Chains A and B, each alone.
Chain A
Amino acid sequence: MISKIWTEKFRPTKFEDVLGQEHIVKRVQALTNSLNIPHLMFAGPAGTGKSTLALITVKDLFGETWRDNYLELNASDERGINIVREKVKNFARTKSLGNVPFKVIFLDEADALTPEAQQALRRTMENYSTTCRFILSCNYSSKIIDPIQSRCAIFRFKLLEKKDVEDVLKKIAIEEKLTISPEAMEIIYEGSEGDCRRAINIIQSTSSISPTITSELVSTIISNAKPKDIKVVLDYALSGDFQKAREKLLDVMLKESISGQDVIKAIQKEIWNLPIEPEIKVKITEKTGEIEFRITEGSDPFIQLESLLASFVLAGLGK
């Protein structure tokens, strides 16, 4: 059955259909043809084709029986490395079917694992090296410990160019009988931040309202998905009402399940629309950058954002 969800329906199924990563695709295809792949690591931003390439690889290797020889895990969803190990153990117990001498385990978002968990993963990779190949995907290869990196062939995915995303969307538009205005296209690309999956989700969302996709409609969909209440939070802070601001912040983060990083992105963009002096805008941006850094380092996002809000209170006083 063909999926009605476009990110699935239009997911490339052949190596030659993967856009924007030609150099990677060629090398992976060559490895696949030799029927002897090493462990692979796909590093790169979201929505650039990492999972897609992994799926194409196993389908190419195993043909019809790919489902029996493929295990997909997501490190950010599994509760701890022990669960991952348990699943790997059960999967690797039986030998692969067909003429490929191994099975494939795709571990998505491997950089969500702590360094200790990665050490455990490394041992698991070794224990099952005769029967299993791992494909690890991550956003940043720097977050993967060296011993794992050295055991993998590393492929770095590029952020998709505007042209690539547009080609994908145009193809979908023809099949689904949509019209997308050039302005709308522009806004979709901007809203997707080069993430192809997100771009497709945006047009499917919009098309559920109308097949004629205008810039206006797209803007509404995207802004609905954005933490618009961030403006309210900042207004409270600037007016000196810190307690209201922090209350609202928690509210927004919980209700919309947005991460601290998304909040800080929105704040950083909002600064330029605030009624404060240029000098203070620069100062508060510097602070925002520092706070974003602390969050990426693994601090408690809420405490860090509160600290940023306290700086906005100062900004509201002209300091």
Chain B
Amino acid sequence: MGKNWVEKYRPKRFSEIKGQELAVEKITEFIDKFPKNKKKAIVLHGPPGVGKTTLAHVISLEKNSEIFELNASDLRNKKKLQAILRPAMEQRSLLKEKKIILVDEVDGISVADWGGLAELMSLIEKTNFPVIITANDIWSQKLNVLRKKSELIQLKEINYNLIKDILIQVLRSENKFIDNDTITKISIRAKGDMRAALNDLQTVAGLETPSEMVLDERNKEIDIFNAMRLIFKNKPTNDLLSLFDSVKMSLDDIILWMEENISAEYSGEELAKAFEMLSKVDVFKGRIYKQQYWRFMVYENIFLSYGISAAKKDIKTGFTNYQKPTRKLKIWLNNQRSKKKKTIAEKYAKHVHVSQKRAMNEFPIIKQILTSNDIRKELRLDEEEIAYLEK
């Protein structure tokens, strides 16, 4: 079958990189400025197959630098990393003037390798050479520190049309023929992953009757940040309908994420429309609960993804710093704070034949009644409870 097409057609020069113009511009700026940058490392992050590693290699070639590559397994222990990295960090390259250090797929580090991650941090601070790091999910907890100490460049998923164009070019160079339908199918199911598309194309081209090939959906897992980006930043497409299937999170949690972040993207009319959608999502959720009729989940799903995406007039550009939902946390904190209030309400409620819930609701008025010492005694309030009332 010859050479792997992914390697064969991997871009070597800036001019061959397609669909990541902004990232190219940013990384060039970073390398040119070095070592005057405030941050000595830059993280290229984005889903698989969008060109993170490729971009690192291309820039080193374009800037006539030697590339020194590390991967997650090299970070596994501190001594090993030091042994590999230290000389690279300190020595000047023999052959070429410049050197770039590439740490590939940093989110492959497991929690047990924190020592290695810490070592990487300290090296970033001391380095004489620019450090390029690639990651899929820059928002994972373990990369908190790295995120602060590095510049970030997001690489977007490759547009479907562009993938299709590239596939057609590759087929031409290879002198192969595959019908348009199949090329379209491959381009769609790649979901922005150029590497996946090329691998599929090469597989299909190797078959005798390519068009009969059954395409299995590449069930790519995406994180909630990417899901939100797809919803907020792009025009709604039917792909959104199954978007949340690939997010490893319950729909209830996704609702909380959306609730937290709608207002980061939308305002005015768009905001009102989006929240009307979220309100409907919640109504259907209630109906599922009440009727035990699970098909309503379809509507929950559609309004939450497509509905909220369609609430906007124009697509949103730029980077949005999505926030974690905080409502549950705030409720928990409040419960901690109002523990005493609860026990007081409980004692009161029992005594006067009402529910605790009502006692809590009417607490401002009840509190005034509880200023009487006799009543405090009557309810057997303890010191802490009285202290709470005195506050």
Chain A interface residues (CB < 8 Å from chain B):
1, 3-5, 7-8, 46, 51, 55, 72, 74, 76-77, 108-109, 115, 197-198, 201-202, 204-206, 208-209, 221, 224-225, 240, 242-243, 246, 250, 254-259, 262, 291, 294, 297-300, 302-304, 306-307, 309-311, 313-314, 317, 319
Contact = CB atoms under 8 A, between A and B. Distances in A.
B358 interface: yes
B352 A5 contact: yes
A262 B358 CA distance: 12
Interface size class of B (residues with CB under 8 A): 35 or more
A5 B327 contact: no
B283 A299 contact: yes
B246 to A, nearest CB: 24
For the complex, would chain B's binding face be called helix, strand, loop or mixed by DSSP majority? helix
A243 B358 contact: no
A72 B289 CA distance: 29
B255 interface: yes
A226 to B, nearest CB: 8
Contacts of A72: 353
Contact of B369 (A204, A255, A302): A204
B378 A3 contact: yes
A293 to B, nearest CB: 10
A7 B283 contact: no
Interface of B: 255, 259, 263, 267-269, 271-272, 274-276, 278-279, 282-283, 285-286, 289-290, 327, 330-331, 334, 338, 341, 349, 351-358, 360-366, 368-369, 371-372, 374-375, 378
B316 to A, nearest CB: 16
A257 B338 contact: yes
A291 B280 CA distance: 10
B365 A254 contact: no
B331 A313 contact: no
Lowest 8 A-B CB distances belong to which pairs?
A307-B279, A205-B368, A310-B275, A225-B364, A307-B275, A254-B334, A310-B272, A74-B355
A210 B341 CA distance: 25
B259 A242 contact: no
Contacts of B259: 303, 306
A202 B358 contact: no
B267 A242 contact: yes
A314 B283 CA distance: 22
B270 to A, nearest CB: 9
A108 B268 contact: no
Given A74-B355, A197-B354, A313-B271, A299 B263 contact: no
B123 to A, nearest CB: 39
A51 B282 CA distance: 35
A270 to B, nearest CB: 18
Contacts of B341: 257
A255 B353 CA distance: 24
B365 A109 contact: no
Contacts of A77: 349, 355-357
Contact of B361 (A51, A55, A109, A257): A257
A189 B285 CA distance: 39
A300 B256 CA distance: 11
Contact of B353 (A108, A202, A242, A250): A108
A4 B376 CA distance: 10
Contacts of A225: 362, 364-365
Contacts of A302: 327
Contact of A306 (B267, B275, B360, B362): B275
A310 B355 contact: no
A108 B355 contact: yes
B341 to A, nearest CB: 7
B352 A205 contact: no
A257 B354 CA distance: 16
